[in-house]
Homo-oligomer: A and B are copies of this chain.
């Protein structure tokens, strides 16, 4: 690896050196009659030694494999502006105080001004200086907690985030914004929903699908919406603030236990499942879409319960699922398994004995549906009744991902199986929706 070419080594490094290129230069790679042209960007971890990463004009990055048939040329010098952040705007001390806690992800990515590469390293105060209108909404206190792309977030991070949010609430802020990657945002939002009980003020999780260097970036709009809601929203719940549609006209606030990432790249990727979003912000106005919600009340005392059992698995059923995998988890000392079954809550009859063995060893087995939308009913067919009869817990309309997080949380609160099952099926943070008349 080389200091001038972070992340590059071997073959790729040799070609770059031979071409006399530097990070930030425009490079053309020709291979097999095709060519790629883009800005040479650094890699943040060492991968293989045969790829060069280019940022194309479209804003996307590609990795081009270099072999002996490849030609690498420098076709333009990098633009190397010096970036001086603007002076911090004067704080208007009469405004509500909002804490922004950054955990990483695209919304908290530093766009490297030299290379256009995306790195998970933007400080919360950088965010603040890049979006100066925040100064008109709130007095912002910022904290970089981690700098982690969200596929790498684990319960260790959930716990630290919950504690940090609680600390800021203890300091008397009007609300907390948590910046997070989109990939596992749904899981983390559920985790905070269970860990932060009786919230006095809102906790707004926010993300972006497109990094701030792309013209279609949703980072600034989402962040402004999140800070406004943290400062002023009438609700005191954990929500996810994201674009409602592909246009910039509205932000919706999804409840942390009902939200799911439903598209790999669209800006309106997050959807509330089996529920309406809690609220919408349009033209600076927040409209509530659900009648029953926890109202903001700064006198309410937050209960922090940030404990999650690690030995819980989410297992998606598929035809010919090997039931020995359930035994594997039991042998490894797992205490809970959430099944993502089919339809109204089924798995193949060839899995029944393994499930029964797990339950006999005191493992809690909960059922959800891979349909995603809708509600279980394990009483319609014999297969469902047989699963109930061996002790599988039907989780109604709970999202599989939320059920997984909840079972981890429940087993962090109690070691007693019956008490855990009771808590698992009790509505704690709006993870279960009431039946509507049309069902």
Cβ of A244 within 8 Å of any chain B Cβ, yes or no, is no
The complex places the Cα of A158 from the Cα of B319 at a distance, in Å, of 10
B316 and A316 form a contact (CB under 8 A) = yes
In contact, A404 and B318 (Cβ under 8 angstroms):
yes
Asked whether, in the complex, the Cβ of B264 is within 8 Å of the Cβ of A385, the reply is no
Interface residue ranges of A329-366 to B (CB < 8 Å):
329, 332, 340-350
CB distance from A128 to the nearest CB of B (A): 24
- Please tell me which one of the listed residues B63, B152, B349, B371 contacts residue A262 in the complex, with CB atoms under 8 A apart: B371
A43, B414: Cα distance in complex, Å: 36
A377-B63 contact given A152-B348, A332-B322, A385-B53, CB 8 Å threshold: no
Is there contact, CB below 8 Å, between A261 and B320?
no
In the complex, what residues of B have CB within 8 A of residue A61's CB? 379-380
- Is A265 part of the contact surface with B, judged by Cβ < 8 Å? yes
Set B63, B325, B439: member contacting A325, Cβ < 8 A: B325
Interchain CB contact (< 8 A) of A261 among B43, B187, B343 = B343
Contact A377 B151 (CB under 8 A): no
Of chain B, the residue at the smallest CB distance from A269 is B371
In A9-54, the 8 Å CB interface with B consists of 43-45, 47-48, 50-51, 53
What count of chain A residues pass the 8 Å CB interface test? 83
Contact, CB under 8 Å: B265 / A344: yes
Q: Which residues of B contact A318 (CB under 8 A)?
A: 187, 313-314, 401, 404
Known: A152-B349, A316-B314, A347-B151. A371 touches B261 (CB 8 A): yes
Nearest B residue to A261 via CB reads B371
* CB pair A382 B183 closer than 8 Å: no
Bound form: Cα–Cα A149–B345 in Å? 13
Kindly identify which residue among B50, B53, B262, B382 contacts A372, using a CB–CB cutoff of 8 Å. Answer: B262
Interface residue? A373 (CB, 8 A): yes
Please measure, in the bound complex, the distance between the C-alpha atom of A20 and the C-alpha atom of B228, giving whole angstroms: 67
In the bound complex, residues from chain B placing their C-beta under 8 Å from that of A344 are: 264-265
A345 contacts which chain B residues (CB < 8 A)?
Answer: 264
Q: Mark A182-203, 1 if CB is under 8 A from B, else 0.
A: 1110011000000000000000
A349 to B404, CA, bound (A): 20
A343 and B63 contacting across the interface, CB-CB below 8 Å: no
For the complex formed by this chain, how many copies does it contain in all?
A: 2
A319 to B188, CA, bound (A): 9
Q: Is A155 an interface residue (CB 8 A)?
A: yes
Contact flag A264-B149 (CB < 8 Å), given A318-B404, A340-B316, A401-B318: no
Q: Which residues of chain A in 112-137 are interfacial with respect to chain B, using CB atoms and an 8 Å cutoff? A: 118
- Are the CB atoms of A346 and B51 closer together than 8 Å? no
A172–B246 Cα gap in the complex (Å)? 49
Contacting B at CB under 8 A, from A129-160, are: 149-155, 158
Q: Are A319 and B385 in contact (CB under 8 A)?
A: no
A and B contact pairs by CB, cutoff 8 A, 23 listed: A45-B382, A48-B389, A51-B389, A61-B380, A62-B379, A150-B342, A151-B343, A154-B320, A182-B343, A184-B342, A187-B319, A261-B343, A263-B371, A264-B343, A264-B345, A264-B369, A265-B344, A266-B374, A310-B320, A313-B322, A313-B325, A316-B340, A325-B325
Query: Top 5 nearest A-B pairs by Cβ distance?
Result: A264-B374, A183-B342, A48-B389, A151-B346, A183-B343
Q: A264-B343, A325-B325 are in contact. List 16 more A-B contacts (CB 8 A).
A: A47-B382, A47-B389, A51-B389, A60-B379, A118-B381, A151-B341, A153-B319, A184-B319, A187-B319, A261-B342, A262-B371, A264-B344, A264-B345, A264-B374, A265-B344, A265-B374
